[in-house]
Amino acid sequence: MCASCDDTFASPGPKSELEEGMALTPRFGADGLITAIATDAATGDLLMVAHMNAEALKKTIETGEAWYWSRSRAALWHKGDTSGQIQTIVEMRIDCDQDAVWMKVKVGGDGGSCHTGRRTCFYRAIPTGRPVEGLTLEPRDAGKLRPAFG
Amino acid sequence: MCASCDDTFASPGPKSELEEGMALTPRFGADGLITAIATDAATGDLLMVAHMNAEALKKTIETGEAWYWSRSRAALWHKGDTSGQIQTIVEMRIDCDQDAVWMKVKVGGDGGSCHTGRRTCFYRAIPTGRPVEGLTLEPRDAGKLRPAFG
């Protein structure tokens, strides 16, 4: 499959149209992907950062549920298909240069989004305002809802 | 500069340590970058998605203000240095496989984060639950605080 030569979406125009226009012309990278970010529609918490190719983006828009491109499995991935953790989109947006999408989602099943079994992939804080040498991460929202996948 | 051979941070260990350990061992990509996401600490709104090399990550941690690597300018970028839109970090987190960071920030100056002059880079919604053919983006938070940069 050649995601970058997919003709589902029109090609990006000049910068002014890309940034100020109302046409969806996603800028897929050399790998055929854009960045996809899911936040919890109720709390605003960042749940996960993943990627979409043209097919995943189209399916997400049309179904109102998050589909991704799994880089590790090199496969289209309907989030929650086996786990029940379906991400239903409350609102979807695209950024200025159209290479990233933001989805505010409501998560099904046990409410988790991370393959480690947690609600969010961002379960460790980086302390700031101090030298990086000897720095130790700190747990946040680190409780597991279920065992890890894979 | 060779971001990927920077020795500021220890190299990532096996998956179990990367995901469950408390050592910060960021996984910079082949381009020497990780994804950096800034949300508004007060509202949870996604403000921007950018990138950090090892130096930007180190400066962000040590100063408590967001530094990025500008891919378009190929330069280290202290956000707000000229615009006043300093992003002060309220909390910083890293994700499961340590290739993305999330910063909850408070924005200085006029409160904007997007080079187009807006508060957020995500100022257009993608309507979902309909075919992508003929789709039109819809403005959201699209008012400009200032003229566009660059």
Quickly list DSSP for B48-110: EEEEE-HHHHHHHHHHSB-EEEETTTTEEEETTTTTS--EEEEEEEE-TTSSEEEEEEEE-TT
Average pLDDT of the residues of chain A = 95
Residue A127 lies in a domain: no
Contact A49 B62 (CB under 8 A): no
Contact assessment for residue A79 and residue A87, using Cβ atoms and an 8 Å cutoff: yes
Q: Which of B25, B128, B140 to mutate to test the interface with A (most CBs of A within 10 A)?
A: B128
Residue A34 falls inside a structural domain = yes
Measured between beta carbons, which residues in chain B are less than 8 angstroms from residue A9? Answer: 132
pLDDT of B129 over the 70 cut: yes
Rounded CA-CA distance A28/A5 in Å is 10
CB pairs under 8 A between A and B: 153
What percentage of chain A carries pLDDT values higher than 70?
A: 95
Distance from CA of A97 to the nearest CA of B (A): 8
Asked, for residue A56, whether it belongs to a domain, the answer is yes
pLDDT at B150: 63
Give me the mean pLDDT over the B42-46 stretch: 96
B99 is in an annotated binding site: yes
What is the total count of domains within chain A?
1
**Residue A7 binned pLDDT confidence (cut-offs 50, 70, 90):** confident
Q: Which of B3-7, B59-63, B69-73 has the lowest mean pLDDT?
A: B3-7
Q: Tell me, yes or no, whether A132 lies in a domain.
A: no
Residue at A70 is within a domain: yes
The ipTM is: 0.94
- Mean pLDDT (chain B, rounded): 95
Looking at residue B5, its pLDDT comes to: 52
Residues of B in contact with A115 (CB under 8 A): 96
Give B4→chain A minimum CA distance, Å: 17
pLDDT of residue A82: 92
Domain-located, residue A130: no
The CATH number for B87's domain is 3.10.20.810
B94 in a domain, yes or no? yes
Q: Which domain holds residue B67?
A: 3-10+25-110
A39-97 pLDDT, tens digit per residue, is: 999 999 999 999 999 999 999 999 999 999 999 999 999 999 999 999 999 999 999 99
**What percent of chain B has a predicted confidence (pLDDT) above 70?**
95
Residue A3, classed as helix, strand or coil, is helix
Has residue B96 been placed in a domain?
yes
- Region B64-78: mean pLDDT is 96
Determine, for residues B130 and A48 on separate chains, whether the beta-carbon distance falls below 8 Å: no
For the segment B49-60, the average pLDDT, to the nearest whole number, is 98
